[in-house]
A and B are shown apart, each in its own frame.
Chain A
Amino acid sequence: MKRLWAVLILMVLIAAICTAGYITIEGYRDKTVTTLQAAMAAANSGDYKKAEELAKQAETTWIDAEQKLSIFVNHSQLSEVGLSVAKLAPLIKDGSVGEFNAECSLSIVQLIHISNREKFRWENFI
């Protein structure tokens, strides 16, 4: 009976960790992708100052995210996004809009990739 209780507690713990991981990943993905999309829009409309601010904001968000997501996601995947996001502010400061957009798109794709890997999908099971 004690063993069954232990199993029940473990099941609840595992379910809680998995759910927390999923929600955290989704939350940070949405937040960072929205910021990056806004930064791209600002850069494309010529508002480089706003784009730089948003790029810095995305970087700050990601630094916070990296700490929390490292519990659930492979650290190298997080570092890749981190490196990509860190390039954004210097790029827009130099006025390299094309490279800025490319780097933003890369970060967004990496983030979507991280989140997709945790989704309840057939592709992830096989």
Chain B
Amino acid sequence: MLITLIRTIILYVVVIVGVRIMGKRQVGEMQPAELVVTILISELAAIPMQDLDRPMANGVIAIFGLVIFEILLSIIIMKSLKLRRIISGKPAIIINNGVIDQHILKELRITIDDLNEDLRQAGVFSFDEVQFAILETNGKISVLKKPHLLGPTAEQMHVENKDKGLPCTVICDGVIEEHSLPLVSFTAEKIHSILEQNQLKLKDVFIMTADKLGNHVIVKKQKKGN
């Protein structure tokens, strides 16, 4: 039993290292080849975890072997457009100039319900709002609304939009995030004075975000029983 536990821990570390080496893209938006590698890695890790008869090296070598192939393939794919098309496929235009391409839908085996769902997730609730919908190689749908439904930009309206910078969390669960302070030009003293103005103590703050312009949002901790 203890051996199983130790093997599980080791293989867990191996899988984490493998996925980290493959890169962050692996987790969020997987291409077909990456999905295959991820499924295979989970299977490969499970076998030596459960079967104590098998040497763990078999699993580890196979996992790292896949990681190597995946990285090498991604490098080759970056250099060769032809291979990229073969391995990852190419984006497909599902709605072209407001017209649903039914042949493409059939070819890709996408039902109208699937399309509806994906459009809703993209913030569109009616087909006639869409100018273009493109099925990306990672399976996600990108939507461009019809021009008259797009809001005007600040540039089009000749309005100056001040750069707020990146809003950062400056207090998280009652603790000041020191590394975020320089990003929003805040200091610990400034935070304490803001808290004082709001009659709050540091430990009462669940989250506080701030931006470069000095705007801030404070969310108080919920008291037990609330």
Question: Could you tell me which A residues sit within 8 Å of B by CB distance?
Answer: 3-4, 6-7, 10-11, 13-14, 17-18, 21, 70-76
- Other CB < 8 Å A-B pairs besides A75-B52, A75-B53, 14 of them? A4-B75, A6-B21, A6-B71, A7-B67, A7-B68, A7-B71, A10-B21, A10-B68, A13-B64, A14-B64, A14-B65, A17-B61, A72-B55, A73-B55
Contact B71 A76 (CB under 8 A): no
What are some 23 contacts across the A-B interface (CB < 8 A)? A3-B21, A3-B23, A6-B21, A7-B72, A10-B21, A10-B64, A10-B67, A11-B68, A14-B64, A14-B68, A17-B57, A18-B61, A70-B55, A71-B57, A72-B55, A72-B57, A73-B55, A74-B53, A75-B52, A75-B53, A75-B54, A75-B55, A76-B53
Interface flags, B6-24, vs A, CB<8A=1, else 0:
0000000000000001010
Q: What band does the interface of chain B fall in when counting residues whose beta carbon is under 8 Å from A?
A: 10 to 19
Interface flags, B123-143, vs A, CB<8A=1, else 0:
000000000000000000000
With a CB–CB cut-off of 8 A, which chain B residues contact A6? 21, 71
Complex: how many Å from CA A76 to CA B75?
Answer: 40
Interface flags, B62-97, vs A, CB<8A=1, else 0:
001101100110010000000000000000000000
Complex: how many Å from CA A13 to CA B63?
Answer: 13
